[in-house]
A and B are shown apart, each in its own frame.
Chain A
Amino acid sequence: MPNVQSFSTLRARSYVFRLPLFTRLMVLAIVVLWLVGIQSAWDLRKWGALIPNEMNFFTAYRMNTFPLIHLNLLHALLNLLALTPLLERFESEYGTLTSAAMFFGPLTTIPAVVYVILERVIFRVNTPVMGASMWVFLLLSVEAMRTYKINPYFVIGTVQVPTWTTPLVMAFVTAALIPSTSFLGHLCGIGTGYLFGLGYLKFIAPPEKILRWIEGKLNLLRRLPHYVSVDQKTYGRFGVLPSSSSSASALFVGRSPKLQKAPPYISLLLIVVGVAWLFMLPLNDYSRRTYISENALLPGQVHTYFGGSDQNVLRAYRHEVGALENKTNTEINDKLEHMFRSMGLKVGRQNYTYTTSGNTVAGENVYAILQAPRGDATEAIVLIAAWRNVKGEFNRNGLAVALALTRYFKRWSLWSKDIILVVPPDSRAGTQAWVDAYHDSHDSRRVADLPIKSGALQGALALDYPQEERFEGVHIVYDGVNGQLPNLDLINSVTNIAGGQMGMGASIQHLFHHSDQYRDRLACMLRGMVNQGLGHAVGPHSSFIPYHVDAVTIQPVGQGWHDEMGLGRLVEGTFRSLNNLLEHLHQSFFFYLLMQKERFVSIGTYLPSAMLIAANFTITAIALWVKTGYAPEKPADTTTKDGKEDAKEKKEGIDAKTKVEQKKKPEETPVTVERELYLPLSLVTGCQFLGFVPLFVFNHAPASLLAPLFVVVTLLSLALPHALSFFLVTTYKPTHQQYQLITSFFLLLLGMFLSTLATLNFSLAFLVGLLATPLTFVRPFPQLPAARYAYSALLGLLNPGVVVLGAAAVATTSLLNGGSGLGVGPWEAVQKVLEEGAFGWSVWGMYTPLIFWCVWFPAWLVGSVVVLG
């Protein structure tokens, strides 16, 4: 049993170079035919596959062509990998001529004929087959038969299993694991193999005399390279393999200087491809138009009737709501409760109190349930009209529309689901408290239970309409907490109804005039990614999404001719669509990036981008781990290795150039060395846990201290690597190997965290990954102080704290937040960001601070220490 340790490039290469002639030809034929199969003008597969119903005298060629033709690259690759060693063994045993005769003759045609007969006569089906897997199984069973003669049973527990069954087991496993394999075709191969292995087919092999005669006459041995003569055959199982075992113990990366140098370039390539990939997405070829997947939704197919006298009702409600503007939460809720009761709705109220950053956020939600007159109360849809929106503006019109709509909905008898109108006092904590309590996952010390409930929530729509004027279009806000998104069908429905039925423009991500050109698409996508990456709640709907309740916020924007009734009709249309649902929205995508309201990329298309960036860390980590297992070729004295490090590297460069000459010299045996794990492991683990300190501090510090604390922590974190490095160098004198191990460990962790995170919150993983890319290339610069300080300055710029401060400074001046800036200075901006982080952590369950402090920060810290080493 060969183990991984004994695998070496040299052996592998020499094995490949010594492959005998017929095997080579077959490999070549398979590759060439695969290449031919790529073009679309002529269907090679149709021409060459073994199609039982098309077999006749003139298509008999198929019996020989089908093993050489493959469905796709993967199919060809797997079969090649399996076939080559088996075929090589067969050929070196029987000789090139015999192999050619056998494989162009009986060993291919017999199974093919059997297969065709079985398919046509017995099963009466017509399953085309192709691919060399039939040969693989045939050769396997020949081998298995031989093993059986020497070693008839192997024992599992107390059961003796005959060894000849192994190919059958493999055929079963293959059939189970890989879809669309022809089990019958494999069986035919196995059957023929057994017969051959048992010697029943010996008679079809061409007689040796004739072969010798042909060889002698044509002088094949001299003329053909890699030819295996009849006499030369080795009876080959454990035949002579090229390389001796002396140089067989090095893992390939450790051996080849060329390969040793490759990983940084591979990493760089992955980063470049990953980033380029993202920028390709807005192109037409990579993004798709949105479409409604769920048949039941039927958006825009109903007339909406909200209008007429309802306008007077709405005006009255607006008046009443306006009168309550400066009242206390309780007074407002008393009044609202009265209104709801007069509509004939059931009303509930709920208190909540959150404490974060030393502040107390408390309030009382009021909500009303409109029971479906003919429904069964097992499902509900939610209409949210928060008293104040996320910016703290008074949502006068939004609430008035919601009230008028609820009253209007009460008149319809066609609801299949209850409708719940929720009026939280704010858009950030109130909805979270309500939705937590609705799903019984609240902390009852902070959030009260809900007195009345309805069925499972199927969807939620929030209205955010503080402006007094008529509007031009609606802005759909869809990002949920932690970057989770509502089902794309919901956004599509709203867009469809707004644009198609109401004639309103719909916009997303604050791009109100989207040109649908590359620039706007990219901007839209990047804004979406920033929102997703931050993972905070951007509207009252955000809290619903982690509970798998699809929700969006609708904000009327711009100056136009649409009035509140239009907004009401939009909600009516959307509710009628949601009302049609038979099951939870599930047909469409949950993971997507929108680049225009009608254009998106789905996870399969965008995920590789973040994954490639995460993989770049992992690849470097593995390469470093392998490297540390061997001493350098001219072992440097480890205690004084600093001086020789560069010399050694230069030597490597020379090695690469003079490889050819080197080859002729006897191989140096690489020296395996013990890895000194203690220091690297404890350093990386320690730094990893160090991240919890700022996490704790910033989640518990009072708001007024947040910004100063942050600056202090940032400054400390900038100084920390220097202190740590000084401490390490003076106390432990880490070796080069230890630095490499440190790098390997922290990169491995980072790669793991980020690739996991990419599946949960793509944008966060991508952004953190991108900002951490310089960490891939960290290494000590003992001889080059300039490089060392330059690199550590670069890392200093990418310090998590510095990045946040920079982003805050940019955000206060730029377009990040809706084109208006935050309206505050950088200092307040930092404070806001930190408050949001602490608030999100304790109220929304937002994990962005955790990623920030416990994934990114430790990686940065360790990376900086390595650079300074």
Chain B
Amino acid sequence: MKLPLALLLTPLLNIVAGLHTSNWAVLVGTSRFWFNYRHLANVLSMYRTVKRLGIPDSQIILMLPDDMACNPRNAFPGTVYSNSDRAVDLYGDNIEVDYRGYEVTVENFIRLLTDQMPRSKRLLTDDRSNIFVYMTGHGGNEFLKFQDAEEIGAPDLADAFEQMWEKKRYHEILFMIDTCQANTMYSKLYSPNIIATGSSELDQSSYSHHADNDVGVAVIDRYTYYNLEFLESEVRDTSSKKTIGDLFDSYSYEKIHSHAGVRYDLFKGGADAARSRLLTDFFGNVQNVEIDGTRNTTMIDDELISLSKTIARLSELAHEEEMAAKMVAPPSQKVGRHRRSQSR
């Protein structure tokens, strides 16, 4: 009777062990040039979102290869918008770009992830850190272009994540990528505890959402746009209980015009566990303090223990009743038959 109970308890104990204590975001745009305005707007929108949900600049790595705000072609100097209503200036006056211009290279990106970047802004994560990795740019089958000159391949990315795992540099990762054939980029990942999502399948393009006719270029990509729409309307603050599953369910071909992909299989507990993760676990800065069991879990434990006690008492009670009813027959024989039937 005790054995199934112990089995029942194991996942719950895992949840207790599965808490993260810090949130980091790595936001990477990989293309330069004026006509790629939207990629930088994508990244800056994500930057605004994670900041809104409480991740401080010190825990956001922002990589911007080009400076659209100061491009002479910009009709609104000093600003970057991701919507043609131009309501929110993404550049604003409080923005911290950690890697910019030609510092945004594959080498620097991988060094950053694997912590081999001694003199610059570092990704100071540990095995209790949840990381949100967002990438956008021009890509293809299993590669993402960095600045016209080089590209990162899907296996490189997979190896970088594996190295992070081996160095205990993350607890869980949400990897999100918006580029053409984006889903191929996460196809090679093999390290545990990664949830991955991308904007489009193999041989599918990823499309822009709309253009601003005064800026003269497309200002945001569809996939990012609908992610933001969900995050802004459903995840208003850190107390939101919306889950990863809710976000992923909001993707549809009608909206995105490409088949957004998700990958759960690397995650411990598979799809169910991954889908039940809160969005704020990655986009927000919800920090759990690691002590011996938090309030919630002790309550569950208490309930479980009392439940098992009740079960035990009830079964004992039933046994006694049984014994009382069958007093006529010799008890040893009875027990033996009972045992036999059990073993059958």
B77 and A302 form a contact (CB under 8 A) = no
Which 8 pairs from chain A and chain B are nearest by CB?
Answer: A374-B72, A302-B216, A416-B72, A303-B213, A375-B72, A296-B35, A414-B75, A416-B73
Q: How far apart sit A372 and B216, CA to CA, in the bound complex (Å)?
A: 18
Q: State how many angstroms separate the Cβ of B274 from the closest Cβ of chain A.
A: 32
A415/B72 in contact, CB under 8 A: yes
**In the complex, chain B residues 59-74 whose Cβ is within 8 Å of any chain A Cβ:** 70-74
Interface string of A404-416 (1 = CB under 8 A from B): 0000000011111
Complex: A90 Cα to B217 Cα, angstroms: 68
Residues of B within 8 A of A820 (CB): none
Q: Which of A397-441 contact B (CB under 8 A)?
A: 412-416
Sample of 7 further A-B pairs with CB below 8 A, known A298-B35, A301-B211: A301-B213, A373-B72, A374-B70, A413-B77, A416-B34, A416-B72, A416-B73
CA distance A373 to B35 in the complex (A): 20
Check A582 for interface membership: any CB of B closer than 8 A: yes
Q: Judge if A788 is at the interface, Cβ distance under 8 Å.
A: no
In the bound complex, do residue B72 and residue A576 qualify as a contact, i.e. CB atoms below 8 Å apart? no
Residues of A within 8 A of B34 (CB): 296, 416, 580, 582
CB-CB < 8 A to A301: which residues of B? 211, 213, 216-218
Residue in B closest to A412 when the chains form the complex, CB atoms = B75
* Chain A residues whose C-beta falls within 8 Å of the C-beta of B73 in the assembled complex: 414-416, 579-580
List the B side residues contacting A413 at CB < 8 Å: 72, 75, 77
Instruction: Fill in one digit per residue for B212-247: 1 if any A CB lies within 8 Å of its CB, else 0.
Output: 011111100000000000000000000000000000
User: Given contacts A374-B77, A413-B77, A414-B74, is CB(A576)–CB(B216) below 8 Å?
Assistant: yes
Residues of A within 8 A of B77 (CB): 374, 413
A298 to B33 Cα, complex, angstroms: 13
10 pairs, A vs B, C-beta closer than 8 Å: A301-B213, A301-B216, A302-B213, A303-B213, A413-B75, A415-B72, A576-B216, A580-B73, A582-B34, A582-B35
B213–A414 contact, CB under 8 A?
no
- Shortest CB distance A35–B (Å): 32
Q: Residues of A contacting B215 with CB < 8 Å?
A: 302
Within the assembled complex, what's the spacing in Å between the Cα atoms of A50 and B88?
60
Q: A578-612 vs B: 1/0 string, CB under 8 Å?
A: 01101000000000000000000000000000000
- Residue of B35, B75, B213 most packed against chain A (CB within 10 A): B35
CA distance A415 to B73 in the complex (A): 6
A298–B216 CB distance below 8 A: yes
Q: Which of A291-335 contact B (CB under 8 A)?
A: 295-296, 298, 301-303
Chain B residues closer than 8 Å to A579, beta-carbon distance: 73
- Of A296, A372, A373, A576, which contacts B33 at CB under 8 A? A296
User: Cβ of B70: which chain A residues have Cβ within 8 Å of it?
Assistant: 374
Given contacts A298-B35, A301-B211, contact A580 B216 (CB under 8 A): yes
Query: Which B residues lie within 8 Å of A373 (CB)?
Result: 72
| B residues adjacent to A (C-beta < 8 A) | 33-35, 70-75, 77, 211, 213-218
CA distance A580 to B218 in the complex (A): 13
- Give the secondary structure class of A's interface: loop
* Chain B: minimal CB distance from A576 (Å): 6
Give Cα A295 to B208, complex, Å. 14
Distance in Å from the Cβ of B284 to the closest Cβ of chain A?
36
Given A301-B211, A302-B216, A580-B216: A295 touches B72 (CB 8 Å cut-off): no
Cβ contact within 8 Å between B214 and A303: yes
**A416 to B73 CA separation, bound complex (whole angstroms):** 6
Interface residues of A in 353-392 (CB under 8 A from B): 372-376
Q: Which residues of A contact B74 (CB under 8 A)?
A: 414
Q: Which residue of B lies closest to A295 (CB)?
A: B35
Closest to B70 in A: A374
State the Cβ distance, A301 to closest chain B Cβ, in Å. Answer: 5
Contact for A580 among B35, B211, B214, CB less than 8 A:
B35
Which residue on B lies nearest to A583, using beta carbons?
A: B33
Please, how many angstroms separate the alpha-carbon atoms of A93 and B216 in the complex?
Answer: 76
For A305, give the chain B residue with the smallest CB separation. Answer: B214
Chain B residue at minimal CB-CB distance from A413: B77
- Smallest CB separation, B69 vs chain A (Å): 11
Choose among A303, A376, A414 the residue with the greatest number of B CB atoms under 10 Å from its CB.
A414
* Minimum CB–CB distance for A526 against chain B, Å: 37
State A296–B32 Cα separation when bound (angstroms). 11
Complex Cα distance A77/B265, Å? 51
B33 / chain A contacts, CB cutoff of 8 Å? 296, 582
**B264 vs chain A, min Cβ distance (A):** 29
Q: Which residue of chain B is the closest to A579 with respect to CB atoms? A: B73
Which B residues lie within 8 Å of A296 (CB)? 33-35
- Residues in B with CB closer than 8 Å to A580 are 34-35, 73, 216-217
Query: Bound complex: CA of A534 vs CA of B266, how far in Å?
Result: 69
**In the complex, which residues of chain A have a beta carbon less than 8 angstroms from the beta carbon of B72?**
372-376, 413-416
- How far is A582 from B72 in the complex, measured between Cα atoms in Å? 12
Chain B residue at minimum C-beta to C-beta distance from A573: B216
In the complex, what residues of B have CB within 8 A of residue A414's CB?
72-75
A146 to chain B, nearest CB (A): 47
Report the bound CA distance from A511 to B70 in whole Å. Answer: 45
- Report the bound CA distance from A416 to B217 in whole Å: 15
Do A298 and B217 touch across chains, with their CB atoms under 8 A apart? yes
Cβ contacts under 8 Å, A412 to chain B: 75
**Which residues from chain B contact A302 at a C-beta distance below 8 Å?**
213-216
Complex formed: what's the CA distance from A294 to B215 in Å?
A: 18
User: How far apart are the CA atoms of A372 and B35 in the complex, in Å?
Assistant: 19
B101 to chain A, nearest CB (A): 15
Q: How far is the CA of A413 from the CA of B77 in the complex (A)?
A: 9
Within the assembled complex, what's the spacing in Å between the Cα atoms of A372 and B217?
Answer: 20
CA gap between A296 and B214 in the complex, in Å: 16
